[in-house]
């Protein structure tokens, strides 16, 4: 009989197997959520087991089954490296793939497991939920050094359809490879979590998984990562990370916002957008802050979840940014790489810019400003009183400065992009057209 694996409630002793840096990261993921009720609307699916929400979730045994390779599409590297869980047996005796399944979705897999003669792996794989319920940190028992993130498939009215299809798997692995190929040319302030392997069943679409590796510097403890939402998330004994950073560094709230979140990201966003044609899904979950082991910001951002990365293909063609040879997902290029949902404007560069900036302006800067103002009223922090829209205006000035430096011309008096975003994007579109025309002219002359 197929096992669904045992639940291990609140077994924090197992978490202690992980390195201090990973434990700190997990603490931010699980206990520093910001307003989780806004996206964990249990009334939409009363049957969903809320013990799998990050803030409720202890360690559990992840259901894993060995599925013969012939029944799966395997996308990306066959091996994930000696320091990561091994998913591909790839031997003469056992040519199979380790298929992880989220415990709450096990019933929807039973027919697939029966039809493919899958067998329980017999391996004890421990897992802990992250802020994205379907994505878990997993590691083999007694091998915490092989810990890795696994994005599993979930479909619930709480979250929507979060199943890993072949197209989504190909996109994630393909874009991860694209960024890796260009890494030397990208801004030094950007790092990422690679997604080098994915697999989806051939006969049952939407039941796949994506493997997301942990950078070596994090595993070694040289770096601690914290999702941006953890800056303002947490209550009770879980003090929001930003309060701890302000206390440790002696920075004023406005200094932190300028030096850590506004000026560096304005430069990073503009360079990625206008020189590389890469647009981040820039909300507080997918962007992480690099911290020292004593939780001091080190000036870099990490990006995760390549499913949300968007590209400006026209700009990339003009600046001769080519996709890696053999990019996965080319069998359905439009769906995998040139579309963002069903919105009528999803292919528009303007629309992609807008979504990316709205995510950062509202879900990072505006929400952080709101919390700073609250903390000042409660006398939890000092510094000069922060006015409404002050932080989004601060970011706007930084972005205007970055635009002026990049294009070598004045772009007018800064205004609050948060309130007049379309106006800013129209200006950026004009600069982009001029830039592409100039690049094309140089190319013809050469």
Band of residue 222 on the pLDDT scale cut at 50, 70, 90:
very high
Q: What is the pLDDT of residue 90?
A: 63
Q: What is the pLDDT of residue 83?
A: 74
321 Cβ neighbours under 8 A, 6+ residues apart: 182, 276, 277, 315
Q: What is the pLDDT of residue 159?
A: 86
DSSP state of 389: T
Q: What is the pLDDT of residue 143?
A: 92
Q: What is the pLDDT of residue 423?
A: 97
Do residue 195 and residue 238 come from a single domain? no
Domain that holds residue 264: 224-304+339-445
Please give the structure tokens belonging to residue 88. 């591909």
When mean pLDDT is compared across 67-81, 214-228, 323-337, the lowest value belongs to 323-337
Do residue 117 and residue 17 come from a single domain? yes
Secondary structure of residue 184 in the 3-state scheme: helix
Q: Is 185 domain-assigned?
A: yes
Q: What is the secondary structure of 57-79 as a DSSP string? A: ---EEPPEEEEEGGGEEEEE-S-
Q: Is 317 domain-assigned?
A: no
**Number of CB atoms found within 10 A of residue 226's CB:** 23
Q: Is 1 domain-assigned?
A: no
Average pLDDT on 199-213 reads 90
Average pLDDT on 308-332 reads 80
Contact 99, 93 (CB under 8 A): no
Residue with tokens 């000026």: 263
Tell me which of 185, 219, 253 is where a domain ends: 219
Secondary structure of residue 111 in the 3-state scheme: helix
Reply yes or no on whether the pLDDT at 250 is more than 50.
yes
Please give the structure tokens belonging to residue 232. 């303002």
Per-residue pLDDT of 50-81, as tens digits, reads 999 999 988 999 999 999 999 999 998 755 56
Do residue 292 and residue 369 come from a single domain? yes
Do residue 179 and residue 283 come from a single domain? no
Q: What is the pLDDT of residue 389?
A: 98
Do residue 189 and residue 256 come from a single domain? no
Helix, strand, coil shares of the chain as percentages rounded to 5? Answer: 45, 15, 40
Kindly report the average pLDDT of the chain as a whole number.
90
Q: Using CB atoms within 10 Å of the CB of residue 248, give its burial: 0 to 12 exposed, 13 to 18 middle, 19+ buried.
A: exposed
What whole-number percentage of the chain has pLDDT above 70? 89
Q: Is 315 domain-assigned?
A: no
Reply yes or no on whether the pLDDT at 167 is more than 50.
yes
Per-residue pLDDT of 77-136, as tens digits, reads 755 566 778 898 766 657 899 999 999 999 999 999 999 999 998 889 999 999 999 999
Q: In 283-332, which ranges are continuous DSSP H helix?
A: 313-318
Reply yes or no on whether the pLDDT at 441 is more than 80.
no
Reply yes or no on whether the pLDDT at 39 is more than 90.
no
Q: What is the pLDDT of residue 3?
A: 44
The rounded distance, in Å, linking the Cα atoms of 69 and 196 is 17
More confident residue, 326 or 36: 36
DSSP state of 42: G
Tell me which of 157, 184, 219 is where a domain ends: 219
Q: Where are the beta strands (DSSP E) in 172-276?
A: 190-192, 197-201, 209-212, 224-227
Band of residue 4 on the pLDDT scale cut at 50, 70, 90:
very low
Do residue 131 and residue 192 come from a single domain? yes
DSSP state of 388: T
Element (H, E) at 219: helix 216-219
Reply yes or no on whether the pLDDT at 440 is more than 80.
no
Q: What is the pLDDT of residue 2?
A: 43
Tell me which of 219, 235, 257 is where a domain ends: 219
What whole-number percentage of the chain has pLDDT above 90? 74
Q: What is the pLDDT of residue 365?
A: 98
DSSP state of 145: G
The rounded distance, in Å, linking the Cα atoms of 174 and 152 is 18
Please give the structure tokens belonging to residue 34. 């910001």
Do residue 247 and residue 193 come from a single domain? no
CA atoms within 13 Å, Cβ hemisphere of 164: 34
Do residue 264 and residue 402 come from a single domain? yes
Reply yes or no on whether the pLDDT at 264 is more than 50.
yes
Q: Is 3 domain-assigned?
A: no
Verdict on whether the full-model pTM lies above 0.85:
yes
Average pLDDT on 3-31 reads 79
Do residue 148 and residue 37 come from a single domain? yes
Length of the chain: 446
Q: Residue 399 belongs to a domain with what CATH number?
A: 1.10.510
Do residue 254 and residue 212 come from a single domain? no
Q: Is 326 domain-assigned?
A: no
Reply yes or no on whether the pLDDT at 141 is more than 50.
yes
**Number of CB atoms found within 10 A of residue 420's CB:** 12
Contact 199, 165 (CB under 8 A): no
Query: How far does CA 366 lie from the centroid of its chain?
Result: 20
Q: Is 378 domain-assigned?
A: yes
Contact 103, 6 (CB under 8 A): no
Reply yes or no on whether the pLDDT at 431 is more than 80.
yes
CA atoms within 13 Å, Cβ hemisphere of 108: 17
Per-residue pLDDT of 388-414, as tens digits, reads 999 999 999 999 999 999 999 999 999
Do residue 210 and residue 237 come from a single domain? no
The rounded distance, in Å, linking the Cα atoms of 99 and 101 is 7
Average pLDDT on 352-379 reads 97
The rounded distance, in Å, linking the Cα atoms of 49 and 58 is 13
Domain count for the chain? 2
Q: Is 132 domain-assigned?
A: yes
Do residue 190 and residue 254 come from a single domain? no
Q: What is the secondary structure of 331-345 as a DSSP string? A: GGHHHHHS--TT-TT
């Amino acid at each position: 009989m197929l096992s669904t694996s045992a639940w291990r409630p609140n077994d924090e002793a197992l978490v202690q197997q992980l390195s201090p840096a990973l434990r700190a990261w997990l603490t931010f993921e699980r206990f520093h959520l910001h307003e989780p009720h806004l996206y964990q609307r249990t009334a939409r699916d009363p049957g969903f087991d809320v013990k799998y929400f990050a803030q409720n979730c202890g360690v559990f045994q992840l259901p894993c089954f060995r599925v013969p390779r012939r029944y799966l599409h395997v996308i990306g590297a066959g091996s994930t490296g000696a320091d990561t869980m091994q998913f591909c047996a790839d031997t003469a005796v056992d040519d199979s793939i380790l298929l992880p399944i989220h415990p709450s979705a096990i019933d929807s897999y039973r027919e697939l497991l029966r039809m493919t003669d899958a067998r329980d792996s017999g391996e004890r794989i421990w897992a802990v939920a992250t802020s994205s319920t379907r994505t878990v940190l997993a590691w083999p028992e007694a091998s915490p050094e092989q810990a890795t993130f696994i994005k599993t498939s979930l479909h619930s009215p709480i979250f929507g359809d979060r199943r890993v299809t072949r197209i989504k798997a190909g996109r994630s692995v393909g874009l991860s490879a694209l960024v890796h190929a260009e890494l030397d040319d990208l801004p030094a302030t950007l790092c990422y979590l690679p997604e080098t392997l994915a697999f989806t069943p051939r006969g049952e679409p939407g039941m796949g998984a994506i493997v997301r590796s942990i950078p070596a510097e994090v595993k070694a403890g040289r770096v601690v990562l914290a999702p941006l939402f953890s800056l303002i998330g947490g209550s009770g004994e879980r003090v929001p990370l930003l309060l701890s950073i302000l206390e440790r560094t002696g920075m004023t709230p406005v200094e932190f916002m300028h030096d850590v979140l506004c000026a560096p990201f304005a430069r990073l966003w503009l360079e990625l957008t206008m020189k590389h044609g890469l647009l981040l899904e820039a909300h507080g979950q997918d962007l992480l802050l690099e911290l020292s082991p004593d939780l001091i910001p080190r000036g870099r951002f990490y990006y995760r979840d390549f499913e949300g990365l968007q590209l400006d293909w026209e700009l990339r063609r003009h600046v001769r940014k080519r996709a890696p040879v053999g990019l996965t997902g080319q069998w359905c290029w439009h769906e995998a790489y040139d579309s963002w949902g069903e919105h009528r404007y999803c292919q528009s560069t303007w629309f992609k810019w807008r979504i990316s900036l709205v995510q950062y302006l509202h879900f990072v800067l505006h929400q952080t400003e709101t919390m700073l103002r609250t903390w000042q009223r409660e006398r939890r922090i000092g510094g000069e009183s922060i006015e409404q829209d002050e932080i989004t205006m601060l970011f706007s000035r930084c972005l205007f400065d970055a635009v002026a430096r990049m294009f070598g011309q004045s772009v007018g008096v800064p205004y609050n992009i948060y309130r007049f975003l379309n106006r800013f994007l129209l200006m950026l579109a004009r600069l982009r057209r001029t830039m592409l025309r100039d690049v094309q002219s140089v190319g013809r002359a050469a």
